[in-house]
């Protein structure tokens, strides 16, 4: 129902904005971010559970995970209406909204918003605009005059007394980790970092497998290429990343190796320049995303071990022994997946309990 208007990353918004800007971007085009105030604690409990029931009925589901819909609704109602919390030596019963951080609260808030926003989405789409939502944050791209947009947001604020919208509009917007600009009818994007951002990543000298540290570098540079619409923006973000990695003890040689590894995997065979960046970036954006492979738990065994520096070669040895002793056995139909647990040390304990 809402899969076309809900985004879970800035990259999804980049792709949608690119398509929209080709035919719709004008010099007076507006970007507007709208915040839904206190969504989790303002959504009413009874109506929230009813919106969940309405969503399940719309999807025509009879069971979810072996549970009947009636059971899910009764359990959801019980959880929503039985949230308690201590404050200043007293216990309080939450009578409005749900507990912050609860997966159920997030699900019910999403369902509630989906039915609230349907007429807004229809209105925006009919006018040739864009509407996307990330949980309780809404992004709009439109060619409406500012006064008309403000008038419409005020009208939407009267759709539901539990939903209060506050807007921020202009030729520049930040949503959620993407910085967006309209410069003379041209779309510019780069990475947005909140004022509270601090360059803390997994330290290179921490006791974690090397592939995790490689993934930090790989993923951050991959995001920079996807988000940065100009070569200069890309260079700036790459150097920011390099400095942040240095602060986290990553050797320059290691960082450069991962940078080159990413470019190689993306089939970027030439050094990036201001002349070829746009073409290569578009190929990266169009690069097919691998679908998540579902796990067959009936034919999968998970093995966890505590990782330390002396266990670096354990996964290779484990799979070698597995193939040696079970290669010709029927048990070989079972796929072993190794997972790690971090070693319990004083530093980890202090971080966890502070």
Do residue 277 and residue 306 come from a single domain? Answer: no
Domain boundary among 262, 286, 310: 286
Last residue of one domain, picked from the residues 104, 126, 147? 104
What is the three-class DSSP state of 345?
A: coil
Whether residue 124 is contained in a domain is answered as no
Q: What are phi and psi of 34, to 5 degrees?
A: -125, 130
Work out how many domains the chain is built from and give that number: 3
End-to-end CA distance of the chain: 42
Residue 156 lies in a domain: no
Q: Is residue 127 part of a domain?
A: no
CA distance 109 to 55: 12
Q: Are residues 310 and 330 in the same domain?
A: yes
Is residue 263 domain-shared with residue 318, that is, in the same domain? no
Query: Are 258 and 306 found together in one domain?
Result: no
Residue 269 lies in a domain: yes
Q: Looking at the domain assignment, is residue 113 inside a domain?
A: no
Rg (CA), the chain: 25
Selection from 220, 213, 221, 166 nearest residue 34 by Cα: 166
pLDDT in 10s for each residue of the chain, 354 residues: 556 899 999 999 999 999 999 999 999 999 999 999 999 988 899 999 999 999 999 999 999 988 999 999 999 999 999 999 999 999 999 999 999 889 999 999 999 999 999 999 999 999 999 999 999 999 999 999 999 999 999 999 999 999 999 999 999 999 999 999 999 999 999 999 999 999 999 999 988 889 999 999 999 999 999 999 999 999 999 999 999 999 999 999 999 999 999 999 999 989 999 999 999 999 999 988 777 788 888 889 998 888 887 888 888 899 899 888 888 888 888 889 888 887 676 665 665 554
Q: Which residues, other chains included, contact 112 with Cβ-Cβ below 8 Å and sequence gap of 6+?
A: 43, 47, 48, 51
Tens of pLDDT, residues 185-237: 999 999 999 999 999 999 999 888 899 999 999 999 999 999 999 999 999 99
Range of the domain at 305: 297-353
* Domain end point (choices 104, 131, 155): 104
In a domain, 330, yes or no: yes
Residues 275, 307, single domain; the answer is no
Residues 281 and 235 in one domain: yes
Evaluate whether residue 62 is within a structural domain: yes
How many other CB atoms are there within 10 angstroms of residue 173's CB atom? 20
- DSSP run (H or E) holding 137: strand 137-142
Which tokens is 339 given? 């997972």
* Residue 27 placed within a domain: no
Whole-model pTM above 0.85? yes
DSSP state of 183: E
d(Cα 182, Cα 26) in Å, to the nearest integer? 8
């Amino acid at each position: 129902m809402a899969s076309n208007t809900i985004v879970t990353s800035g990259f999804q918004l980049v792709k949608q904005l690119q398509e929209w800007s080709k035919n719709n971007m004008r010099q007076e085009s507006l970007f507007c971010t709208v915040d839904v105030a206190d969504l989790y604690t303002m959504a009413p409990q009874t109506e929230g559970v009813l919106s969940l029931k309405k969503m399940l009925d719309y999807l025509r589901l009879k069971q979810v995970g072996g549970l009947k819909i009636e059971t899910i609704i009764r359990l959801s109602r019980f959880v929503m209406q039985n949230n308690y919390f201590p404050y200043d030596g007293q216990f309080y019963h939450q009578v409005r909204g749900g507990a912050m951080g609860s997966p159920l609260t997030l699900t019910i808030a999403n369902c509630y918003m989906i039915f609230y926003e349907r007429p807004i989405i229809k209105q925006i789409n009919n006018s040739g605009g864009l509407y996307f939502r990330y949980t309780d944050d809404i992004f709009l791209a439109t060619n409406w005059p500012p006064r008309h947009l403000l008038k419409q947001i005020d009208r939407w604020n009267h759709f539901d007394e539990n939903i209060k919208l506050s807007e921020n509009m202009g030729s520049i917007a930040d949503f959620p980790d993407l910085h967006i600009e309209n410069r003379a009818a041209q779309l510019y994007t780069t990475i947005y970092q909140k004022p509270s951002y601090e360059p803390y990543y997994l330290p290179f000298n921490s006791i974690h497998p090397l592939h995790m540290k490689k993934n930090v570098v790989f993923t951050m540079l991959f995001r920079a290429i996807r988000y940065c619409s100009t070569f200069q923006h890309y260079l700036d973000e790459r150097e920011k990343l390099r400095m942040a990695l240095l602060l986290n003890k990553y050797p320059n040689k290691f960082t450069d190796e991962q940078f080159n590894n990413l470019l190689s995997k993306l089939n970027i065979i030439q050094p990036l320049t201001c002349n070829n960046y746009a073409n290569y970036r578009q190929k990266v954006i169009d690069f097919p995303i691998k679908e998540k492979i579902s796990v067959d738990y009936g034919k999968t065994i998970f093995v966890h071990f505590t990782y330390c520096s002396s266990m670096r070669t354990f996964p290779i040895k484990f799979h070698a022994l597995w193939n040696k002793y079970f290669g010709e056995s029927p048990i070989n139909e079972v796929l072993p997946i190794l997972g790690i647990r971090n070693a319990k040390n004083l530093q980890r304990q202090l971080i966890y309990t502070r």
